[in-house]
Structure 1
Amino acid sequence: MTTIAPEKPSFLQSKIGGLPRPFWALWSGTLVNRLGTMVMPFTGVYLTQARGLPVAAAGLVMAVFGAGSLFSQLLAGVLADRVGRRATLTGGMLATAAAMVALGYSTSLPAITAVMFVLGLVIDAYRPASNALVADLVSPAERPKAYGLLFWAVNLGYAVGMTGGGWLAQLGFGWLFWIDAISSVAFGVLVWRAVPETRPVARESTGGFGVVLRDRLMIGFTLVVLGNALMYLQTVTMLPVAMTKLVGLTTGQYGLAMALNGVLIVVVQPLVSNWLGRRDASRTFALGLAVMGAGFALTAFVTTTFWLAVTIVVWTAGEIVTAGIAGTVLASLAPAHLRGRYSGLFGFAWSLASMLAPLAGSALLEFGREALWFTIGGVGLVSAAGMLALGPAIRRRSADDL
């Protein structure tokens, strides 16, 4: 009797196959939302040019936004567990749209400050719910692929959104606010209509964040994530300052080199995500952190656009390795009925880093480029070592999740 060998899956099927339809609705909404993300990259320009605020006042407004984002992740994590993932994500997106429009029409400093605080509260409130939805919808084996695809969508959408935003800002900032608002509404409506509520019924009283804070493994992982965030956020805080002010590159040279980051992520990350997803998550994440740290440490020696591009390739390689892995680890650590809270603490680490990164980076830069970039490289190595130390406990928790 002749046996027919099973058909080998196509390249496209191997990269995107095996994921449920609701995940693709979440992915599509994320991409649409990121394509419409045009306001935040140009907020400083808008506040100082369109609204005529002094630089100090604009800085204060942005600090208020950062304070709102700190509370955002914790509050949204609780809501995702108590109210539901779908309701929290949709509500956050609708609130973001309203805040965007309000900010676009606010003219006084008190009004702008108040709206920016609200925007900080709601603009990323979708993240804990989104992370929890992926963990609820996707099997453990497919989670690295799913989180990696979301990472890819965010980067692709953000790159296009920034380009379009820069062009539209020349026609008037009002376009940016309305497009951002419309994309937020589209994300919320799509999830509400196409993604089922996945929040499991808690088997016990869950209260607030106490149960999460008592999980020492999660606290350790959060500290590792904080190190990761402190490294990466230098790319949008001190890296442009160091390259233009100290190295002497023009903004055009810097932008050309930084474009490599987006190109590499969009092209390379989908090609390697499946292979990386089959590796041990804790060791893979540690490797990515170490490579990122090495790339940032090498930045201390940059003197030309070419060598900046080389360092960008190195730390981008580390970023690609970590893509999707952090979410996978997080999903394995969190009990199903607490995934929103665990995701909220994860997001809080990034929000905290967004405030600490420019403060620490600017203080270190006062002592010279070497002080900044060797310290950031050291943060990467310490974070990688911490992840390796947590590895055995994470593997045991992950085995229980299967």
Structure 2
Amino acid sequence: MKSATAEKPVSFLRAQVGGLPRPFWALWGGTLVNRLGTMVMPFTGVYLTQSRGLSVTAAGLVMAVFGAGSLLSQPLAGTLADRIGRRATLSGGMLATAAAMLALGYSTSLPAILASMLALGVVVDLYRPASSALVADLVPPAERPRAYGLLFWGINLGYSVGMTAGGWLAGLGFLWLFWIDALSAVVFAVLVWRAVPETRPEGTGEASGGFLVVLRDRVMVAFTLVVLGNALVYSQTMTMLPVAMTKVAGLTAAQYGLAMALNGVLIVVVQPLVSGWLGRRDPARTFALGLAVMGAGFALTAFAGSTPALAATIAVWTAGEIVTAGIAGTIVAGLAPAHLRGRYAGLFGLAWSAAAVLAPLLGGPLLELGARALWFTIGGIGLVSALGMLALGPAIRRRRQAG
């Protein structure tokens, strides 16, 4: 007979991953493979300046073009997910991403690089609204926080490994990164096409009103503004945080990388342990708590002048990130009518695309004023977003009850 002690890990594992439909796991597996192969985007700036010899100004122009493409991406993807289907949009987007990756890898002139980056900006995240809608279609409401949380965990696990491998492969030649990224996108497309059924509700391909229907939903628009605040806070990790810590606080790149590695470790280790418990809490209050903790963590960065101090602040805002994981997707799925889930997810994704463009425009001038000006402002945005989420809570709960 198995001992009670031996049964506990099995029971815990079953509670975390059991009960979800097989197509969800195909989607999860494809997402993991895709993130394992996500090697190009984190090293794009290095590739453009070192391999293609572009100036910093020209590289900035190329990245701005990518950002413009990403702003178009989410509304387009949401509409396609509702019109032609979730599976076709996701698989088609991944195949288009593979083609755009290879086109960029073999582009040598600035016009060709600009065209490839614009195309990549449009297609690289086409899968997101379709993936979000698929989870909402496949998974019962009570299990959605856990399902979205598991997707978040898989993305972070794959990204952590992909970043490590990408840094090593870049030393062998950047073209390796483009081919591996393209191959992982093709695997994701094939896996979804073969193992995930189409879930778009019948007879809704010509849903009237398009995005105007979504924009008339005041609760969803207000929630999108809250998400924009969240995205502006988190996007500093990819824009101003490395600059502030290396240029202002004086940390070396190795010290900064060591501290940032804590973010991925905490997510991979802690998030699966708490996702089930968090999923049973009220989504609006839970999301507000996570936003407040994230804001506090970034505000504390104003006092971080060493690697241990930076690691402590990272631990705080990572705790907030873990709390919010899976909750935002659950709220969007609860607000959206079944035939408009793609469009609602597209509006949600647009907030993140907009933040990627706005975050450096906000953070750069603030950092010029000083570290405290930047991090206290970012912390304030997190706190305001949390208060906005609390104010929205009653409306979101009424929609859940009505649904």
Q: How does the TM-score come out when normalised to structure 1? A: 0.97
Offset, 1:202: 4.7
Offset, 1:303: 1.4
Offset, 1:124: 0.3
Letter matched to residue 320 of structure 1: I
Q: Which residue of 2 aligns with 1:327?
A: 329
Q: Which residue of 1 aligns with 2:141?
A: 140
CA distance in 2, matches of 1:380, 1:261: 18
Structural mapping, 1:81-92, within 5 Å: 81-92=82-93
SS in 1 for 2:369: coil
* Identity within the alignment, %: 79
SS in 2 for 1:366: helix
Letter matched to residue 358 of structure 1: P
Q: Deviations over 1:17-37 (max 9, x none)?
A: 110000000000000000000
SS in 2 for 1:161: helix
SS in 2 for 1:52: coil
Offset, 1:208: 1.6
Q: Deviations over 1:108-153 (max 9, x none)?
A: 0000000100000000000000000000000000000000000000
Contact 2:291–2:382 (CA under 8 A) maintained in structure 1: yes
Contact 2:207–2:339 (CA under 8 A) maintained in structure 1: no
CA distance in 1, matches of 2:230, 2:203: 32
Structural mapping, 1:90-239, within 5 Å: 90-202=91-203, 205-239=207-241
Q: Which residue of 2 aligns with 1:43?
A: 44
Letter matched to residue 26 of structure 1: L
Q: Which residue of 2 aligns with 1:253?
A: 255
SS in 2 for 1:197: coil
Letter matched to residue 122 of structure 1: V
Offset, 1:285: 0.2
Offset, 1:332: 0.1
CA distance in 2, matches of 1:205, 1:345: 16
Letter matched to residue 210 of structure 2: G
Check if 1:383 corresponds to 2:390: no
SS in 2 for 1:10: helix
Contact 2:235–2:355 (CA under 8 A) maintained in structure 1: yes
Offset, 1:399: 1.9
CA distance in 1, matches of 2:185, 2:126: 12
Letter matched to residue 322 of structure 1: T
Q: Which residue of 1 aligns with 2:354?
A: 352
| Farther-moved stretch of structure 1 (392-401 vs 163-172) | 392-401
Offset, 1:56: 0.4
Q: Which residue of 2 aligns with 1:266?
A: 268
Q: Which residue of 2 aligns with 1:287?
A: 289
Q: Deviations over 1:315-365 (max 9, x none)?
A: 000000000000000100000000000000000000000000011000111
Letter matched to residue 376 of structure 1: I
Q: Deviations over 1:269-306 (max 9, x none)?
A: 00000000000000000000000000000111111111
Q: Deviations over 1:74-114 (max 9, x none)?
A: 00100000000000000000000001111111100000000
CA distance in 2, matches of 1:46, 1:77: 31
Q: Which runs of 4+ in 1 moved over 2 A?
A: 201-207
CA distance in 2, matches of 1:400, 1:183: 41
Letter matched to residue 240 of structure 2: M
Q: Deviations over 1:35-80 (max 9, x none)?
A: 0000000001111110111110010000000000000000010000
Q: Which residue of 1 aligns with 2:75?
A: 74
Q: Deviations over 1:151-191 (max 9, x none)?
A: 00000100100100000010001110000000000000000
Offset, 1:205: 3.9
SS in 2 for 1:145: helix
Q: Which residue of 2 aligns with 1:4?
A: none
Q: Deviations over 1:183-229 (max 9, x none)?
A: 00000000000000000035684232000000000000000000000
Q: Deviations over 1:342-392 (max 9, x none)?
A: 000000000000000011000111110111000000001100000000001
Letter matched to residue 158 of structure 2: G
Q: Which residue of 2 aligns with 1:3?
A: none
CA distance in 2, matches of 1:159, 1:202: 41
CA distance in 2, matches of 1:302, 1:14: 38
Check if 1:55 corresponds to 2:65: no
Q: Deviations over 1:248-282 (max 9, x none)?
A: 01111111010000000000000000000000000
Q: Provide structure 1 residue ranges, at least 5 long, that are not aligned to the other structure.
A: 1-6
CA distance in 2, matches of 1:311, 1:304: 11
CA distance in 1, matches of 2:203, 2:391: 31
CA distance in 2, matches of 1:309, 1:223: 29
CA distance in 1, matches of 2:390, 2:203: 32
SS in 2 for 1:279: coil
Offset, 1:396: 1.2
CA distance in 2, matches of 1:300, 1:196: 49
Check if 1:317 corresponds to 2:298: no
Q: Provide structure 2 residue ranges, at least 5 long, that are not aligned to the other structure.
A: 1-6
CA distance in 2, matches of 1:188, 1:395: 36
